[in-house]
Chain A
Amino acid sequence: MSTHPALARHAFTRGAIAILPLSLAVAPWGLLAGSMAIEANLTPLEGQGLSAIVFAGAAQLVAIGMLKGGANLFSILLTTLLLTSQHLLYGLSMRPVLSDLPVRWRMGLAFLLTDEFFALVSQYDKQQFNRWYALGVGLTFYIAWNLFTLAGIVLGRNIPHLDQLGLDFSIVATFVALIAPVVRNVPTVVCVAVSLFCSVLFSYWHWETALVAAGLLGMTAGFICQKFSGARA
């Protein structure tokens, strides 16, 4: 199936515009990923390489800390595996729309599959899904992430207490605006409540899999609740 170039361009632009707020929201994290790399005595090329090749904020920040502390390769890779395990869930969830695409698209969009990509693109089913829209979302976010990393590398140590400025609220503001309209029935309320409680508890306990474990428990609670209310109705 080939798409008319004008339509493809239109869909790509729509995706790029849709991800714009989230691209700006990650500015503080991108800056932090760049400046922390320099602070940990990585070369600018290595700092940029992390964002260009790994492209996973939380894993990058933790890995930089571990490199600084002299951790070995295996423990860094294992931590990365655990910290980014929510992507398994995203892949599974988007399997119906992504697995039928040609291999180039499949691998390309998989590489661009982030929390933010999932937040925007996963709402479309097979009929509504547009690969160019998805590419617009993913590629714009990738470019923004790398530009902010570059800015962080250039500014380096000149950014004073970036982590104390409360810039991480930008992520919350965006995700809350995406979640709140979806919470329309009891099972979703249960899912959100369980996920919220567990994520705070597990993070407090310093679990490396805190987020994915909390998310899975929340999803399970919502699912069970839906099954029960369905059986009663």
Chain B
Amino acid sequence: MTFVVIFGMGLVVFLNRYAFIEPRLPLRLSSNARQFLGFAVPGMLTAICGPIVFLPNHQLDLSPSSPYLVGSLVAIVLVLLTRSTLFSMLASMAFFFVYRWWLNGA
């Protein structure tokens, strides 16, 4: 029974992924549509990050000492300064865990 659910979910997710890639779908993207879709990377990736940063444990945390908030700011500064995705990702994660450990210890 569980496998019926799993295959059903697999099908639903695949259809979501494939629907607009199918060439027989009569659809041509206008220049406006393309400009709009140009915002997909910043728009969608930001939306994924928002709740993780501001709603840890599903409670609004806007305090300036929140490790998620400070960690994100560190990541932004690092990537703008160094231009290295990998370095700023690893360094901001290291910062996040040290800062959290320090907060919990103090």
Contacts and interface: CB of A to CB of B under 8 A. Distances in A.
Nearest to A58: B48
7 contacts: A80-B13, A84-B17, A90-B17, A118-B41, A178-B41, A192-B46, A218-B42
Nearest to A60: B9
Interface stretch (A3-11, A141-149, A206-214): A206-214
Given A88-B16, A188-B39, A180 B48 contact: no
A84 B17 CA distance: 9
Given A54-B6, A92-B37, A204 B60 contact: yes
A178 B78 CA distance: 12
Contacts of B88: 173, 177
> Which interface class (under 10, 10 to 19, 20 to 34, 35 or more) fits B?
35 or more
Interface string A85-107: 11111111111101110000011
A88 B20 CA distance: 7
B18 interface: yes
B106 interface: no
Interface stretch (A127-135, A150-158, A193-201): A193-201
A222 B66 CA distance: 28
Contacts of A183: 42
Nearest to A85: B16
A81 B12 contact: yes
Interface in B1-41: 2-10, 12-14, 16-23, 27, 29, 32, 34-37, 39-41
Contacts of B19: 88, 91
A183 B79 CA distance: 12
A50 B2 CA distance: 10
- The listed residue with most A CB atoms (<10 A of its CB), out of B23, B35, B39, B49, is B39
A173 B48 contact: no
B72 A93 contact: no
Interface of A: 21, 25, 42-43, 46, 49-50, 53-56, 59-60, 63, 67, 73, 76-77, 80-81, 84-96, 98-100, 106-107, 110-111, 113, 115, 118-119, 122-123, 166, 168-183, 187-188, 191-192, 195-200, 203-204, 210-212, 214-216, 218-220, 222-223, 226
A183 B49 CA distance: 15
A184 to B, nearest CB: 10
B9 A172 contact: no
A59 B6 CA distance: 11
Interface string B61-92: 00000011001100110111001011011101
Nearest to B37: A93
A67 B2 contact: yes
Contacts of A171: 48-49, 52
Nearest to B71: A169
Contact of B47 (A92, A96, A195): A195
A95 B34 CA distance: 10
A43 B48 CA distance: 30
